[in-house]
Structure 1
């Protein structure tokens, strides 16, 4: 069955529907990872977005459900050059096609993803619509595309109730703004008891859990939308509890302490982004998934200073807070998918809690 991707600038790509046969409007973004498509599909940070995979062949090693980053896929739609009909891997349990169809997610294949990615890089991230119909009203589609906004996605992806993952060392409260499972796994691997709490848990309730440390998770959407969360994070900043924040959590902590954020032209999404540690001069290859960044020009140098920068475009990749047991990074030290260069940051967090 034919399918079409129509962008807000009027450009159109024709392909084949290989997922759920339904129309969907979304924000179109691209990911440069060569592997890890299941982790991408199930990463809550993609809620409200349709993902273009730049690697031309997707699905060739199938689906292994142990690799999921959450209980379900969160992407609005999936866009690929070619989706393999056959999977060859000893861990394979299912096909990408079945995963998408069973979760009612459309997928379009057979389009020129190279041209699409170049368009998004040149003109910036834009809204688009996947249409799985042979005839359609272009004026109506254009209106729907222009009206679309990514909103309310933190609430949508967060846990609805508190739950605890066992451990016998330090107690960490993980604020779930759309957390990847790998974050909790890295903490458990180091012996932590992890108490996962909903996005809107107040600071007083978190403090009453008597944590040794607090983790602010990744998540989707515009950080400035989360005004109530930002106020509670400021209260946590005012305590002496060690805090480690990743991605959206990094942005929320910056906003809570007076800094500003802005939307990137086309974001950083993939497993090959170089970041430089400003203290040691060492460069790490990182996994990233974000469309917003902290504006370094708005930082209060008495509160925090840049700790990492992106080697490609010099955007901020992390902050060190002055006279506080707090550090934050824009990238993903838990990776999945991506390189494990930065997993040492979890060890740094453990040492902060021990000290």
Structure 2
């Protein structure tokens, strides 16, 4: 197996062994603290443009199966692990993680000192990295891709069910968000990221969900007017990037965290009750609390570790937005109730019946 390196734009070099496609790849280097769920993490569209560093040392030990993908395509730029299991043992395993990476044309490194790498990212903040087979000068990069356009659906898609009609605006949605809505009996219409208020209005939905997705929410500033109109006229739920976009649409500001929140072990406090939920998260940006109009919004949740805003609710509209992932794939499942709560508010406002599949 060929020796490879992760070169950071700040000058640090981390040696390892090349895996996957073994081609040069450059991206934003981020770390995830989850102990399980590597398949869901690798296939999450929110990782578009990023090189994922797994904090948990052993990856690939239960293989890869057909059911646990969060998207049909892997959009990450690379994978970094301490160890990579090449002989997985699980009844549902169909192939190894390395074979998945090769088939998806994604490069990676294993045998890396991920503990030291994560400490470096925490010290430096999120930086760009290059996976390569030689030590050389870090390339000058100026162009950035509009990542949401790469991961959003191109054409509308309809998933029939007898219950409430939900429009899911796709900024790079995880499959588990769609499945959570379908499990509740909803008919779901998936729309591209640039869906307008008039397009949504023409569908007469009972509610709208603004999905997760990659990148800086301010790149979608041209959609903010439509997002505000949609969330003003229809019961709405924002998740992750969708949460940030709703806040921006109503005049708030966002900021980039030093190294983001990524993992399945982030504690979030519900302000009204003091109850703590363990949540799944994957984001670089947060809503600045001081920029929120507190006469219009109340803060529902805060991150225990750094005090950042994790959820908001409009005081007059049926509008809720959360920074974490209530669909919880990979887990935990503490906040999955938010889907049923959102739909309950819809059923209470309309004559649509609940057809939840239990």
Do 2:33 and 2:55's aligned partners in 1 also have CA atoms closer than 8 Å?
Answer: yes
Q: CA deviation at 1:305?
A: 1.6
Looking at structure 1, the residues matched to 174 and 189 of structure 2 have their Cα atoms a distance apart, in angstroms, of 14
Looking at structure 2, the residues matched to 123 and 16 of structure 1 have their Cα atoms a distance apart, in angstroms, of 24
Which position in structure 1 is the counterpart of 2:231? 237
2:80 maps to 1:79:
yes
Q: CA deviation at 1:148?
A: 5.8
Matches within 5 A, 1:1-355: 1-132=2-133, 134=134, 137-138=136-137, 141-144=138-141, 147=142, 149=144, 151-239=145-233, 241-355=234-348
Structure 2 unmatched ranges of 5 or more: 349-358
Q: Number of aligned pairs?
A: 347
Looking at structure 1, the residues matched to 323 and 143 of structure 2 have their Cα atoms a distance apart, in angstroms, of 26
Q: How high is the TM-score relative to the length of structure 1?
A: 0.96
Looking at structure 1, the residues matched to 289 and 56 of structure 2 have their Cα atoms a distance apart, in angstroms, of 32
Looking at structure 2, the residues matched to 105 and 115 of structure 1 have their Cα atoms a distance apart, in angstroms, of 23
Q: Tell me, what secondary structure is at the counterpart of 2:334? A: coil
Q: Tell me, what secondary structure is at the counterpart of 2:290? A: helix
Looking at structure 1, the residues matched to 56 and 231 of structure 2 have their Cα atoms a distance apart, in angstroms, of 41
Do 2:232 and 2:317's aligned partners in 1 also have CA atoms closer than 8 Å?
Answer: no
Looking at structure 2, the residues matched to 34 and 148 of structure 1 have their Cα atoms a distance apart, in angstroms, of 34
Looking at structure 2, the residues matched to 75 and 238 of structure 1 have their Cα atoms a distance apart, in angstroms, of 34
CA spacing shift, 1:29–1:264, aligned 2, 3 Å: same
Which position in structure 1 is the counterpart of 2:353? none
Do 1:171 and 1:195's aligned partners in 2 also have CA atoms closer than 8 Å?
Answer: yes
Q: How high is the TM-score relative to the length of structure 2?
A: 0.95
Structure 1 unmatched ranges of 5 or more: none
Root-mean-square deviation over aligned CA pairs: 1.0
Do 1:270 and 1:338's aligned partners in 2 also have CA atoms closer than 8 Å?
Answer: no
CA deviations 1:139-176 (Å, max 9, x no partner) are xx2424xx364x31101000000011121110000000
